Homo-oligomer: A and B are copies of this chain.
Amino acid sequence: MNLEIKALIAQADRAIKEERFDDLMEFYTDDAVLIVKPGLEAKGKQAIKNAFIKIAEYFKNSVVPTQGNMVMIEAGDTVLVLSQTLLDAENKESSDYSMDRRATYVFRNINGKWLCAIDNSYGTSLLD
A-side residues, CB < 8 A to B, are 29-33, 35, 41, 43, 69-71, 73-76, 78, 80, 82-84, 102-104, 106, 108, 117-118, 120, 123-124, 126-127
Contact = CB atoms under 8 A, between A and B. Distances in A.
A76 B124 contact: no
15 contacts: A31-B75, A32-B75, A33-B74, A41-B73, A69-B127, A70-B127, A73-B118, A78-B108, A80-B80, A80-B120, A82-B124, A84-B127, A102-B124, A104-B123, A104-B124
Nearest to A31: B76
A5 B30 CA distance: 22
Contacts of A82: 104, 123-124, 126-127
B124 A123 contact: yes
B33 A120 contact: no
B118 A33 contact: no
A76 B117 contact: yes
Which residue among A32, A108, A124 has the maximum number of chain B CB atoms within 10 Å of its CB?
A124
A117 B79 CA distance: 9
